[in-house]
């Protein structure tokens, strides 16, 4: 993963040196060459999620657009993900940052032109802000998103009449969704905290807020998991699902865990 530290012009007169804890995380070989920067707080988004083998095999097949990736590119594939964080300072000012990481070349080539605006966003996986941070949290009301790199076909079981006039049931395609970003859904739980519908992330696996980090801290938002899509047996081998299957619908996009650490 290539790292680029971006300084917020509105909050910093200059970048200065980076915290060695952050440097050792992203570039261990140069960790001894930079001085400490106690006047800054570093916030990073580390994407360690993977891509499901069946999804990748489909993308590489003729049905999936013959996506052409080298072995090195496949080894480095990461789901394209984005999230917005809100940084609140002790003086009451607020700064919002949108992180986006992952492989922009992970998409059915036949839909590349349609997905271009989203996939061509500049990667941003870390930021340096001034000290006196009161809190760092997911922006209220915002959602973490993952890019679905294939067209999804929704089927529904309907009644049909055979040539002999008999009634039968069969799956019919109802709608198709082009590759796009999709919100990551949190598990649904009952009043006792029991999971009643498993989706993309557990309620205890979402990014937790950080309050009053010390100057020089490195806050890392990490994600693990697997990007995947369903393949309905009756769908003919394409990414597809049954509209009336809420569990499968809820899990489109895969399963993830987010962990926040402060160093």
Strands (E), the chain: 6-7, 40-47, 50-51, 81-89, 94-101, 126-130, 133-138, 145-148, 152-161, 167-177, 180-183, 188-189, 195-197, 210-211, 218-227, 240-242, 255-262
Backbone phi and psi for residue 70, each to the nearest 5 degrees, phi listed first:
-75, 165
d(CA 231, CA 239): 5
Q: In angstroms, rounded to a whole number, what is the distance separating the alpha carbons of residues 104 and 196?
A: 34
- Centre a 10 Å sphere on the Cβ of residue 62 and count the other Cβ atoms it contains: 6
Q: How far apart are CA 86 and CA 95, in angstroms?
A: 6
Cα–Cα distance, 47 to 181 (Å, whole number): 16
Token pair recorded at residue 94? 């607020």
Residue 163's pLDDT is 67
CB 235 within 8 A of CB 243: no
Contact (CB, 8 A) for 259 and 222:
yes
Query: In this predicted model, what pLDDT tens digit does every residue of 93-138 receive, in sequence order?
Result: 999 999 999 999 999 998 866 556 778 788 999 999 999 999 999 9
pLDDT tens digits for 238-248? 999 999 999 99
Closest CA to 147 of 41, 227, 215, 226: 227
> Domain spans of the chain?
6-148+179-239+250-262
**pLDDT (mean) for 186-209:** 95
213-235 average pLDDT score:
96
Residue-wise pLDDT for 2-41, tens only, equals: 333 444 333 333 343 344 434 444 443 433 333 445 589 9
Least confident range from 26-40, 137-151, 218-232: namely 26-40
Task: Provide the pairing of β-strand 81-89 with 152-161.
Answer: unpaired
Q: How far apart are CA 51 and CA 250, in angstroms?
A: 18
Please compute the mean of the pLDDT values over residues 221-241 and round it to a whole number: 96
Q: Count each helix (H run) and each strand (E run) in the chain, helices first.
A: 5, 17
Q: State how far the Cα of 68 lies from the Cα of 97, in Å rounded to an integer.
A: 33
Phi, psi of 167 (to 5 degrees): -90, 140
Asked if 9 contacts 204 with a C-beta cutoff of 8 angstroms, the reply is: no
Residues of the chain with pLDDT > 90: what percent? 71
Provide the pairing of β-strand 133-138 with 210-211. antiparallel
| Per-residue pLDDT tens over the stretch 39-79 | 899 999 999 999 999 999 999 999 999 999 999 999 999 99
Q: What is the pLDDT of residue 112?
A: 65
Q: Report the pLDDT averaged over residues 142-148.
A: 96
At 215, list the tokens: 């100057």
């Amino acid at each position: 993963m290539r790292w680029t530290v971006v300084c917020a012009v509105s909050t910093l007169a200059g970048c200065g040196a980076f915290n060695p804890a952050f440097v050792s995380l992203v570039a261990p070989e140069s960790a001894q060459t930079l001085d400490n920067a106690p006047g800054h707080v570093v916030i990073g988004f580390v994407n360690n999620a993977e891509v499901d083998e069946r999804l990748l095999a489909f993308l590489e097949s003729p049905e999936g657009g013959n996506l052409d990736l080298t072995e090195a590119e496949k080894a480095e594939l990461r789901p394209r993900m984005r999230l917005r964080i809100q940084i609140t300072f002790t003086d009451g000012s607020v700064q919002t940052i949108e992180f986006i990481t992952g492989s922009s070349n992970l998409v059915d080539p036949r839909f590349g032109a349609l997905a271009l605006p989203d996939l061509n966003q500049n990667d941003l996986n870390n930021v340096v802000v001034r000290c006196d941070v009161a809190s760092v949290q997911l922006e209220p009301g915002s959602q973490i998103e993952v890019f679905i790199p294939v067209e999804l076909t929704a089927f529904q079981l309907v009644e049909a009449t055979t040539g002999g006039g008999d009634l039968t049931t069969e799956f019919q395609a109802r709608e198709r969704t082009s590759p796009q970003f999709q919100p990551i859904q949190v598990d649904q739980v009952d009043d006792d905290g029991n999971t009643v519908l498993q989706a993309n992330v557990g309620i205890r696996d979402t990014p937790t807020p950080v309050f009053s980090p010390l100057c020089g801290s490195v806050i890392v938002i990490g994600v693990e998991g697997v990007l995947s899509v369903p393949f309905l047996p009756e769908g003919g081998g394409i990414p597809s699902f049954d509209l009336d299957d809420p569990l499968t619908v809820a899990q489109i996009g895969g399963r993830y865990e987010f962990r926040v650490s402060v160093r």
